[in-house]
Amino acid sequence: MKTVTLINGDGIGPEISDAVVRIIEASGLQINWDIQTAGTDVIAEEGTPLPARVLESIKINKVALKAPITTPIGMGFRSVNVQLRKALDLYANVRPCKNLPNIKTRYDDVDLVVIRENTEDLYAGLEHKIDENTAESIKIITRKASERICRYAFEYAVKHKRKEVCCVTKANICKLSDGLFLECFRNVGAEYPKIKQKELLVDNLCLQLVQDPTVFDVLVMPNLYGDIVSDLTAGLIGGLGVAQGANIGKYGAVFEPVHGSAPDIKGKNKANPTALLLSAIDMLRYLDEDKYANKIEKALYKTFEGGCFTEDLGGKMKTTEFRDAVIMNME
């Protein structure tokens, strides 16, 4: 039996992870869940929102499924999510964005992947106050991390039979930092002549994405742009409730949805577990459990085809009702 670290998170985290664990159980696949708590709730007892035991567990198991964790805004501790990605060197944040059956959106045939550099840029946490009225945040872009993420994007394209990789920067303004990222893209891209290559500025990308997202394939970009663009692309396929993600490194992987802890609907049995479920399906494929991944995906698609939706998608179902519908649809 495989062991996977499970971080239930906070906010809607425990509700959606309970649903996903039960759906996986119902598929017949047995997983030994190594449950690890993190975030605000553990600070009082352990003095930190990210205790060493959490990192140890992921290092040993190599795979984690993670529900969202709240980060205080403007003050308080540094994001547990960002710390985790950095500490485990989970350098590639992979966010596929594909239409789901029977979820009506503005565009059909959206099938793109946002690949976001996950360890540096403005997320390096290098911020300080120069004086009372001035703050400085340092954007770090290195050749090593930029080449690594661009290579990941090209390898991803090859593995998944994708045709094009588009590099997204703001190299007209951040000439040195984003300029370096773009230079790395071009250097690495030269090794992949069979993959079409495109370059876009991030503002232009946003315009084009809302006008016609169907023309995009694989997008690779520095951390901050990836964070923002992947919320935009989530909106193209039905919203944050269905947007999956994965953080991949050389020594392990953490699968988690794009969305946060949604404090506005916490404890109301309203959260859509689909984003975490799709992340878990991806995780099962990563673990070579394709049979179960396909079985669960089929049941999820059947649930949507049957018109079962949570409130974020215009339906009436509670989290637990949606969970039960997916389980009922399992063949």
**Residues at the site binding ligand NAI, with contacts judged by CB under 6 A:** 12, 68-71, 81, 240-241, 256, 259-265, 271-272, 275, 312
Report d(CA 267, CA 69) in Å as an integer: 15
HSE-CB for 173 with a 13 A CA cutoff: 7
State the minimum distance, in angstroms, from the CB of residue 82 to ligand NAI.
Answer: 9
- Cβ proximity to ligand NAI: between 179 and 315 the closer is 315
State the minimum distance, in angstroms, from the CB of residue 287 to ligand NAI.
Answer: 21
State the minimum distance, in angstroms, from the CB of residue 143 to ligand NAI.
Answer: 27
- Cβ proximity to ligand NAI: between 150 and 275 the closer is 275
Please work out, in degrees rounded to the nearest 5, the angle formed at the alpha carbon of residue 77 by the alpha carbons of 72 and 82.
90
Name the residue with the smallest CB distance to ligand NAI: 260
State the minimum distance, in angstroms, from the CB of residue 101 to ligand NAI.
Answer: 18
The alpha carbon torsion through 266, 272, 273, 279 (nearest 10 deg) reads: -110
State the minimum distance, in angstroms, from the CB of residue 232 to ligand NAI.
Answer: 13
Q: Which amino acid is at 43?
A: I
Pairing of strands 218-221, 246-248: unpaired
Report d(CA 185, CA 15) in Å as an integer: 40
- Cβ proximity to ligand NAI: between 189 and 257 the closer is 257
Instruction: Provide CB contacts within 8 A for 70, sequence distance 6+.
Output: 10, 11, 39, 40, 260, 261, 263
- Cβ proximity to ligand NAI: between 120 and 312 the closer is 312
- Cβ proximity to ligand NAI: between 195 and 276 the closer is 276
Q: Which amino acid is at 168?
A: V
